[in-house]
Structures are given as structure tokens and as C-alpha cells.
Amino acid sequence: KNLEGGGRIVNVSSLAGAVGVFYTCQHWLERVLQYEWFGGFESLPFQLLRSWSIGLQTFVSYGASKRANLLFTDALNQQFSERGMDIDATAAHPGYSRTTIFRGWSSVPSYIRKFFATNQIASMSSDVGALSQLRAALDLEHVKGDAYVGPLFGVVGRPVIVGTAVRSFHHLSWPLLGEESTDELWKTSEKAIGWDYF
């Protein structure tokens, strides 16, 4: 109801949704852990691998949710367009911003959490990282519906348009599948919550 007169939605994504190698590592690590190759399930090597697997799963789940935000951005624009609504959706990601998000990842070793939260190399403050979201929300002249805004150099840099929600150079290593995935995610989400969005 708040958007009946027109408006814009900004979905926040992350580079974590573009790093397919973590998904591949998690998959193979889980397969390895099915076997007692390391001296049994109580052995130190097994426990270390299990710990890494849990940490990777945390990252994989986070990345999947951020990837879904991009598909939802695309789906929202389709839905708004079909209904002739004067609303659009954009997406943005903050690059590598030093935030407190890593503190809550208890399954990730503390030294890794501390590194990501405090590392000053190739990272930005959370204030600077937020500029991508602000541009996606407020630059109505240049940032059109379905645009994806992120730092110029991926992890750092001024906010620029890096492509669309489902096609950007930030996702070259693991492209989104486009309309088919968007429709599937939309229908699955509506079924999961038990009501239609529109």
C-alpha cells in the first residue's frame, strides 16, 4: 500500500552470492566426510574437516540468500511491469565492507572472523560500503529498474552500475540462470509462505 503512488525497492545482495567455488568446496567436503578415510569419525583430521565444512555451510547459506535477492529483484520488476505499476526494484552490494556481520558466525573460527572484520587491505568502512545502496535508491536518473550497483573494483571503489540483477560482470565466474530460476524461486517462495505476493 505504501508504494501505490510509485516507488523503488532496493534489494541488498553480496559478492558472496557470486563465488561458486565455495559451493563446490562444500559439496566435495560433505562427500569426503561420509567416509571414514581419516582414522574414524573421532580422529583429529575428521574433526578439522567437519569444522571447515560447518564454516563453509554458513558462508554457502549466506551466499545463497544473497543470490536469491538478485533473482527476486528480477522477479519483482517482471511483476510490476505486468501490472503496469510505477514501481521498480534495483539491487546493490557493499563490496568488502568491514561490518559486524562476521561476529555472529560462531561456526567460523574466531581468527577468521576477526580478520574479515578488521582487515584494512582491499576493504572499505561500512559507511563507504553503504554508498552502493544509497545510489541504487536515490539515483533515479541513471540507475533504472533491475540495475545492479556495486563498488567499481568489486570489493572497493565508488558505486557504479555493474549490470542487471541477473547479468553483471560481478557474476562472470558463476552466472545466474535467468528467467527460469526467477520464476521457480518466486513460485517456491509463495508456496513456502502460503500466500501470493500479488
Mean pLDDT score across all residues of the chain = 79
130 contacts 111 by C-beta, under 8 angstroms: no
pLDDT at 59 over 60: yes
Query: What confidence category does residue 87 fall into, taking pLDDT thresholds of 50, 70 and 90?
Result: very high
Gap between the Cα atoms of 170 and 180, Å rounded: 20
Gap between the Cα atoms of 98 and 94, Å rounded: 10
Query: What confidence category does residue 36 fall into, taking pLDDT thresholds of 50, 70 and 90?
Result: low
Gap between the Cα atoms of 38 and 45, Å rounded: 6
- Predicted pLDDT of residue 52: 59
Q: Residues 6 or more apart from 128 whose CB is under 8 A from it?
A: 97
pLDDT at 90 over 80: yes
Pairing mode of beta strands 159-164, 147-151: antiparallel
Q: What is the DSSP letter of 12?
A: E
Q: Cell digits for 172?
A: 562472470
Residue type, position 131, single letter: L
Gap between the Cα atoms of 121 and 14, Å rounded: 18
Query: What confidence category does residue 109 fall into, taking pLDDT thresholds of 50, 70 and 90?
Result: confident
**32-36, 37-41, 139-143, 173-177 — most confident range:** 139-143
Mean pLDDT score, 66-78:
88
Q: Which of 84-88, 113-117, 166-170 has the lowest mean pLDDT?
A: 166-170
Q: Cell digits for 17?
A: 552470492
- Predicted pLDDT of residue 16: 78
- Predicted pLDDT of residue 9: 95
Gap between the Cα atoms of 123 and 62, Å rounded: 19
Alpha helices for 17-118 (secondary structure H): 20-32, 44-82, 110-118
Query: What confidence category does residue 3 fall into, taking pLDDT thresholds of 50, 70 and 90?
Result: low
- Predicted pLDDT of residue 28: 53
Instruction: Tell me which residue of 16, 135, 130 sits closest to 69, measured CA to CA.
Output: 16
- Predicted pLDDT of residue 100: 79
First to last CA, the chain: 12
